[in-house]
Every structure is written in C-alpha cells, then in structure tokens.
Amino acid sequence: MMQKLSNKQQRWLAVGLLAAVVFLVAAVIFIPWYSAFKSTMEEFDDLMFRVKRYERVIASRDEVLRKVEQGRAEINALGYFYSQETSSLAAAELQKRIKAIVKRAGGDISSTQVLPHKERDELLQITVKVKLSGDMEMLRSLLYDIEVEKPLMSIVEISITPKARAFSRRNKLKKKIQNDKVTVMLQIAGYMRKKL
C-alpha cells in the first residue's frame, strides 16, 4: 500500500525533482561546454606562446644576419678561398700559383689542365690537373708548399711514377744508374665561395 504524501512532503519532493532536473540539464550542457572552453583556452595559450617565440626569432633576425656576415668576413679574412668573380678566373689564379710552387720546388711542368668545377655545399671546388717531373726532394718541397699555401689548396689525386732508369754502357755488366727522378700526376683543388 502506498502512503499518501502530505502537501509539505509533496512540495519538498517537487523541489527536489526540480533541482535534480536543473542539475542534470546543467551537467549535460555545462560539462561539454566547459571541456570545449578549456581545450580552446589551451590551444590559445599554445598559439600565444608560439607567436611570442616567433616574435623573438624575428626580432633577433637582424642580429643573426649581422653575425652571419661577420662570420663570412672573418672566414674571408683568413685567406682560405679564392676571391675572384668567376670560377674561370679562380682556375687561372690556381694554375699560376701551382706553376710558381713547382718552379720554387725545382720541378718541371709538362702539362696543366683545368677540370670542370664542382659544387660542395656553399663552395665551388676548382681543380687543376698537373703533370710534372723532378726528384724526390722537389716532391717533398712541393707537397709541403701545397699544404701551407693560401688560398687553401688540397690534393685530390696523386700518382707518382719513377722515371726509367738508365744503364751504364761503359761497363760490360750494364749496371743500373741509381736515379731518384719521378713523374708526378696531381689533381690540386682550390675553393671559392658561391656568389649569393
């Protein structure tokens, strides 16, 4: 059997049910809205952080460019690179320097050939192929001078061949005359910065 509720109890029950419905409706609407709002605010904060970081990067751009130019000037001041306007002029200068080094070392150049330049990151590699002859002391001096020369030179390829030994005809035994003469084939590279 069901008991009948008094008016006061009915009012409290109605108020409780109304409060439960209001709370349920508020929960169904408010919780997803709050979650979406919180997610939007987090995205906004992340975007604001990125914007401020980009503003700092942009503000430091001029300083970075100045430092890059200063670094380039310092590298150029070291004298490691050829400063000619074109790779052809740099190749001519490299040939001239190689001829001077070989002459100082006491060698004889029989041929030179400029090879096509190659791109290496921000540099152009200019290569000259040289065939020369001389003795071992000349070769030692030549290699040392190439090592310390400025602008920078590097040996890309080297081939050393002893010259044919002569025979003594005075003696019937035909003794070989000791000879330290060599023929050297070199590919020597110099470098210049690419024009921006």
| Domain 87-193 CATH assignment equals 1.20.140.150 | no
Reference 105, options 127, 128, 136; nearest CA is: 136
Q: Is there a contact between 127 and 146 (Cβ–Cβ < 8 Å)? A: no
Q: Is 146 helix (H, G, I), strand (E, B) or coil?
A: helix
Mean pLDDT by runs of 10 across the 196 residues of the chain is: 73 88 85 87 90 86 84 77 85 92 92 89 89 91 88 89 66 55 91 77
Buried b (16+ CB within 10 A) or exposed e, 65-78: eeeeeeeeeeeeee
The per-residue pLDDT for 151 is 84
The per-residue pLDDT for 66 is 87
The per-residue pLDDT for 101 is 92
Q: Is there a contact between 184 and 146 (Cβ–Cβ < 8 Å)? A: no
The per-residue pLDDT for 95 is 92
Rounded to whole angstroms, the Cα distance separating 56 from 93 reads 45
- Tokens 């000259």 locate to 128
The per-residue pLDDT for 97 is 92
- Tokens 């942009």 locate to 58
The per-residue pLDDT for 1 is 47
Domain boundaries, the chain: 8-78, 87-193
Reference 193, options 96, 78, 40; nearest CA is: 78
The per-residue pLDDT for 170 is 58
